[in-house]
Amino acid sequence: MVAFEITILGANGGPSEYATQCFILKPARTEDSELIAVDGGGGMHQLRELLAQGQNDNEGYDELVLSFYEHDREPIEFFIDPRLTIQKGLSKSLLQSLKRHGAHFESANTTNKAFKLFQGITDYYITHPHFDHINGLVINSPSIYEQENTKKKTIWGLPHTIDALQKHVFNDLIWPDLTAERSEKLKLRSLNSKEIQKCTIFPWDVIPFKVHHGVGVKTGAPVYSTFYIFRDRKSKDCIIVCGDVEQDRGGCEENLLEEFWLYVAENIPLVHLKGILVECSCPLSSKPEQLYGHLSPIYLINELSNLNTLYNSSRGLSGLNVIVTHVKATAAKRDPRLTILEELRFLAQERNLGDLRISIALEGHTLFL
């Protein structure tokens, strides 16, 4: 049974500034008037593009997707596992809910529709405060104060994210401190790592976990990011949505990923784990010193192997959807996403991880997991 719908507003890991990481999440097939997002790299522009496609163009996925390497467009089949359920644009139930909850929605122009859709994203779960995970949300934020908007927005994150957003972004220097408005339409709220929090709009639990993401260039101090587990309280189905991450470093006291996978294996039966959206920013040829707090295929496969060992199932991780995000669009002959996908599939087979379904997160598409 499909449990989650994930619309990819952005999955790019830079250095291109377009459509960096941002996912919209909702329960499958429901027509809720509100939505949540993980990260805010994409935003209003991507929403306008999705809405401009119209409902009838959203059927199926037999199409070409932007690549800009060997060819400017490549067949979508190159990027996804054939068993992944995916469609172009917004899901039917999301479009339906916009019509149902928005007066005159159908007759509105695309920009006004995008405003409505953006306003309906009431909760953002941010993985870490790097620009490529917040830029859309920050630049879009003044629209919360449009007169006809009655909705509020809460930005959630672990303290390392929320403190940095308050001190270094919404500080009246880098960006107006919209959180200080008396109307309280924009709020920043801290979560605690490993603590189960009830999602305010869906019957889901949200569980954040702190993970490592390299060290500061100047200070050498550890940089942190977040993995989120979203769990439907009724069906117990879960998805894991990850921010940027690096492997646990040897000699480091905090084995954050080790603890995370242990929690997953002990608390989520494999059949209820509907998918993992995880970064793999760099190809296999990258040297460790070129990763800058990210994963390459060998490290991602090491992490999946750890999970596989903990689950200890005779079928390995068969059937698990792994959706790869945040690939860096570096100068290369071949699309780095295709290189990384091929390397991951090869390594997964070599390490006997079972029949994993590995795909690339494609901007402008909705996944059903």
Binding positions for Zn ion, rule: CB under 5 A: 130, 132, 244
Q: For residue 90, what are its two tokens?
A: 């917004």
Q: Judge contact between 367 and 86, C-beta under 8 A.
A: yes
Closest separation in Å from C-beta 161 to Zn ion:
11
Q: Judge contact between 88 and 365, C-beta under 8 A.
A: yes
Closest separation in Å from C-beta 39 to Zn ion:
8
CB-based contacts of 262, cutoff 8 Å, min separation 6: 310
Closest separation in Å from C-beta 281 to Zn ion:
8
Q: Which is nearer to Zn ion, 244 or 335 (CB)?
A: 244
Place of tokens 């940095």: 164
The distance of Cα 30 from the centroid of its chain, to the nearest Å, equals: 20
Taken in order 156, 162, 167, 169, the sign of the CA dihedral is negative
Q: Which is nearer to Zn ion, 61 or 156 (CB)?
A: 156
CB-based contacts of 128, cutoff 8 Å, min separation 6: 157, 160, 161, 213, 223, 224, 225, 226, 243, 244
Secondary element (H or E) of residue 46:
helix 44-52
Closest separation in Å from C-beta 124 to Zn ion:
15
Closest separation in Å from C-beta 211 to Zn ion:
11
Q: Between the CA of residue 197 and those of 62, 125, 192, 353, what are the distances in Å?
A: 39, 12, 9, 32
- What is the DSSP pairing of strand 204-215 with strand 273-279? unpaired
Closest separation in Å from C-beta 344 to Zn ion:
19
Q: Which is nearer to Zn ion, 244 or 303 (CB)?
A: 244
